[in-house]
Amino acid sequence: MSRNLVLVINPGSTSGKVALFGNGELISEKVIRYTAEEIGAFKSINDQQAFRKIKIDEYLNENDVKKGDIIAVVGRGGLSKPISGGTYLVNKDMLEDLASGEYGSHASNLGASLAQAFADEYGVSAYTVDPVVVDEMHEIARISGLKGIERRSVFHALNSKAAARAILAEQYEKYNVIVAHMGGGISVSAHQYGKVIDVVNGIDGEGAYSPERTGGLPLITFAKKIIEESLSLEQIKKILAGEGGIKSYTGEIDMRIVEEKALAGDMDTKNYLDGMCYQVAKCIGEMAIVLQGNVDVIILTGGISYSAYVVEYLKSYVNWIAHVEVVPGEKEMEALYDGVMRVLNKQEEAQIY
Ligand SMILES: Nc1ncnc2c1ncn2[C@@H]1O[C@H](COP(=O)(O)OP(=O)(O)O)[C@@H](O)[C@H]1O
Ligand SMILES: CCCC(=O)OP(=O)(O)O
C-alpha cells in the first residue's frame, strides 16, 4: 500500500533540509549540515548536485522509502526570472534558467533539479513553491541610482511569509510587518497588507553581512580590489556570497561556534558578531521607513534567531519601532508541503513557469 508521501527538499547555502510528509503530518526531517570546506570544495553550485543527492538518497534509505510510496516531490525554488508567488510545476525552462546562473547562483537553484531527479525516479511530478525571486516590489523600490541597473526582489520569500503567517495567521493581509530572516544569507522584507513591497535583497550585495555574504560594500574600494586582483565575475560572485561576511573574518559559517567563541571572550569574534547584528538592525530601520513608520510587528526568523544573544542585541536596537516576535529556524518545509497539497487537493492550480 502507498504511504502517500511527499518528499520535500530544501538546499540552503550552509545546510540542506529534507523531509517526508504524509497525510498532513511530518513523518521525518533531517538537517544535513555542511562544513565550509565541503561546500568550498565545489567550483559552482551546479557541481554540488550529485553530492547533495547522495545525502538525500541516504535519508530515503534510512526511512525505507520504496517506489510507489512517493506521490510528489517539491524543492525550494531558486534564482529564476522574477515571478509571482504560488506553486509551480518544474519544467525544462525553469531548470535551464536555474542551471544557467543567468539570474544568480545560490544553493536553492538546486531545489528544482533535485526534486526533478527524484520525481523521475519515483515516476511523479516535481514542484516548487514561493521561490526566492517572488516579486511584489513597488516600482519606486526598483530604482538603483544608476541607469541600466535595477534593484530586484530576492529574499527568503517562503519562510518570511510563513513566519509572518505563523504570528498573524489569517490576519497577515491586514497588517504591516517587517521580517528579518537570518540564515546563511540575511534578507529583510517589508510586508504591507500581505504584499512584500520592498526588501533588503539577501544575495545581490545589499544590507547586512551574513555568515557567508558581504552584504553592501564600499563600492570604490571594492572596485579597486576587483581591478588590482583581476577578479572574474565568478570570483566576485563567490566573494559576495560564499566567502564574505563572518566567514571572511573568522573562517567560520556556523554561528553557534561563532557565538560560543564570542561569549567565551574572543573579542575579535564578538566584534564581528555584533557588527552583523548592528547591520541587521539598520536594515530593519530601513524597512520601517518603507512602511512609513506603520509597523505592527517585527519578526526575527531563520537559524540565527535561535540565538538569544542575537535576539537581545536586535531588540535593544529596534524594539522602539514595534513589538518584536521570534520564529526561530524556518517553516520552509511545511510551507513547501502545504503549497504542493493545495495543488494535489485541487484548491489551487499549479502555475506554469
Ligand atoms: N542555536 C543557534 N544559535 C546560533 N546560530 C544558529 C543556531 N542554530 C543554527 N544557527 C545558525 O543558523 C545558520 C543557518 O541558518 P539556516 O536558516 O538553517 O540557513 P541556511 O538555510 O541559509 O543554511 C548557521 O550559521 C547556523 O550556525
Ligand atoms: C535571499 C536568497 C535566499 C537565501 O539566501 O537563502 P539561504 O540563506 O538559505 O542561503
pLDDT tens-digit series, residues 142-192: 999 999 999 999 999 999 999 999 999 989 999 999 999 999 999 999 999
13 confidence band (pLDDT: 50, 70, 90)? confident
Q: Which atom of ligand 2 is nearest to the CA of 185?
A: 8
pLDDT greater than 90 at residue 15: no
- The Cα 349–Cα 125 span in angstroms is 14
- Per domain, the residue ranges of the chain are 5-135+332-352, 157-328
Q: For residue 332, which phi and psi values (nearest 5 degrees)?
A: -65, -35
Average pLDDT value for residue range 14-38: 91
Predicted local distance difference test score (pLDDT) of residue 14? 72
End-to-end CA distance of the chain: 33
Q: Structure pTM?
A: 0.89
- The Cα 330–Cα 336 span in angstroms is 11
Cβ < 6 Å from ligand 2: which residues? 12-13, 106-108, 132, 154-156, 183-185, 187, 202-203
33 confidence band (pLDDT: 50, 70, 90)? confident
Nearest CA to ligand 1 atom 24: 254
Tell me: the pLDDT tens digits for 89-121? 999 999 999 999 999 888 999 999 999 999 999
Quote the ligand 1 centre to 306 CA distance (angstroms).
8
Q: Which fold has domain 157-328?
A: Nucleotidyltransferase; domain 5 (3.30.420)
The set of cell numbers assigned to 35 is 562544513
Fold match between 5-135+332-352 and 157-328?
yes
Predicted local distance difference test score (pLDDT) of residue 234? 87
Measuring CA to CA, which residue among 158, 99, 96, 95 is closest to residue 126? 95
The set of cell numbers assigned to 265 is 571572550
Predicted local distance difference test score (pLDDT) of residue 40? 79
Measuring CA to CA, which residue among 178, 168, 159 is closest to residue 317? 178
Q: For residue 150, which phi and psi values (nearest 5 degrees)?
A: -110, 145
Predicted local distance difference test score (pLDDT) of residue 37? 84
- Correct CATH for 5-135+332-352 of 3.40.50.1370, 3.40.190.10, 3.30.420.40, 3.10.620.30: 3.30.420.40
